[in-house]
């Protein structure tokens, strides 16, 4: 794990500002909100036994798990302390967190990026040119203002998500397991956080598995947070995809 040296320079005033930001972040999603996403295929323990491509729905849920679990925290002070290690990743106290159950409800689909931008209220970076293996895209919008998320899934010829992009105005905090390995990488002029793994549902708990093939890259451009997730791309391919966004 690469240490974020920038955080060695955080002053008390800055920490207080972060704490204030967290307090102003708004109401935390309810357990019912989390339950909508808990029974996704990738959340089942059996998923880790083999590596196979997922449809765009599976990729969407993989990215949402890391996101939605992250928003379920109780004490801003503890969260600020956890954030001191990274820019926007919250390391859970252990690799096991409470699981929830409930039906899967997928976000609403929209036809174009422009339509998604109108709903979320900000411009979304997209690739200048799509790679040849991308044949179509699927776009979803989730949440309510001021916490709305745009999800763009870049699909291959088999209608599987080659890579999925999540964008949100303001902070996008992600929860990871205690043993997750995080690397700080550069995406242009921005520092980004890269890691592999995810929480796998195991009955009443979800257990972090760093061998799970989903790879995540998270960074910010101005006040817009971006996250790329893929079970297909390598770390460098994720970085290259991020660099192509404009």
Q: Where are the domains of the chain?
A: 5-243
Structure tokens at 179: 């043993």
> pLDDT band at 197, cuts 50/70/90?
very high
**Residue 87 confidence class, pLDDT cut points 50, 70, 90:** low
**Predicted local confidence at residue 104, as pLDDT:** 66
> pLDDT band at 14, cuts 50/70/90?
very low
Work out the number of other CB atoms within 10 angstroms of the CB of residue 68: 22
Q: What is the model's pLDDT at position 75?
A: 35
Per the document, the length of the chain is 246
To the nearest 10 degrees (0 to 180), the angle between helices 12-23 and 76-83 is 130
Q: Residue 200: which residues within 8 A CB-CB, separation 6 or more?
A: 42, 43, 44, 45, 47, 48, 206, 207, 208, 209, 212
pLDDT of 178 > 50? The answer is yes
Higher pLDDT, 215 or 58: 215
More confident position, 117 or 61: 117
Mean pLDDT of 225-232: 94
Distance from chain centroid for Cα 54: 17
Average pLDDT over residues 127-155: 91
CB 29 within 8 A of CB 72: yes
pLDDT of residue 228: 96
> Which residues lie across from 163 on neighbouring strands?
154
- Of these ranges, 36-40, 98-102, 188-192, the one predicted with the greatest mean pLDDT is 188-192
Q: Sort strands 198-202 and 89-91 into parallel, antiparallel or unpaired.
A: unpaired
Strand residue runs (E) in 79-231: 89-91, 96-98, 108-110, 136-144, 147-155, 161-169, 174-176, 182-187, 190-196, 198-202, 205-209, 215-221, 224-230
Q: How far is CA 138 from CA 114, 116, 153, in A?
A: 13, 11, 5
Statement: residue 163 has pLDDT above 90: yes
- Cα gap 35→31, rounded to integer Å: 6
Task: Compute φ and ψ for 129, nearest 5 degrees.
Answer: -145, 130
Average pLDDT estimate for 109-133: 93
Find tokens 């609403």 and name the residue: 108
pLDDT at 86: 61
- Cis status, amide bond into 146, omega within 30 of 0: yes
More confident residue, 49 or 167: 167
- The pLDDT value recorded for residue 103 is 67
């Amino acid at each position: 794990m690469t240490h974020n040296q920038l955080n060695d320079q955080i002053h008390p005033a800055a920490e207080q500002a972060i704490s204030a930001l967290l307090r102003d972040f708004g109401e935390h999603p309810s357990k019912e909100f989390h339950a909508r996403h808990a029974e996704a295929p990738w959340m089942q323990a059996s998923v880790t036994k083999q590596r196979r491509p997922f449809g765009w729905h599976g990729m969407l849920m993989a990215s949402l798990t890391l996101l939605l679990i992250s928003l379920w925290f109780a004490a801003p002070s503890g969260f600020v302390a956890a954030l001191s290690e990274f820019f926007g990743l919250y390391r859970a106290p252990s690799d096991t967190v409470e699981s929830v159950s409930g039906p899967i409800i997928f976000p609403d689909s929209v036809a174009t990026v422009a339509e998604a931008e109108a709903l979320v209220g900000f411009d979304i970076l997209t690739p200048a040119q799509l790679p040849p293996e991308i044949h179509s895209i699927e776009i979803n919008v989730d949440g309510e203002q001021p916490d709305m998320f745009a999800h763009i899934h870049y699909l291959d010829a088999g209608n599987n998500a080659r890579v999925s992009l999540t964008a949100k105005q303001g902070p996008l905090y992600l929860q990871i397991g205690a043993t997750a390995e995080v690397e700080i990488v550069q995406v242009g002029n921005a520092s980004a956080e890269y890691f592999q793994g995810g929480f796998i549902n195991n009955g009443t708990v979800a257990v972090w598995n760093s061998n799970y093939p989903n790879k995540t890259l998270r960074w910010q451009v101005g006040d817009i947070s971006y996250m790329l997730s893929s079970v297909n791309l390598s770390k460098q391919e994720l970085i290259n995809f991020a660099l192509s966004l404009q």
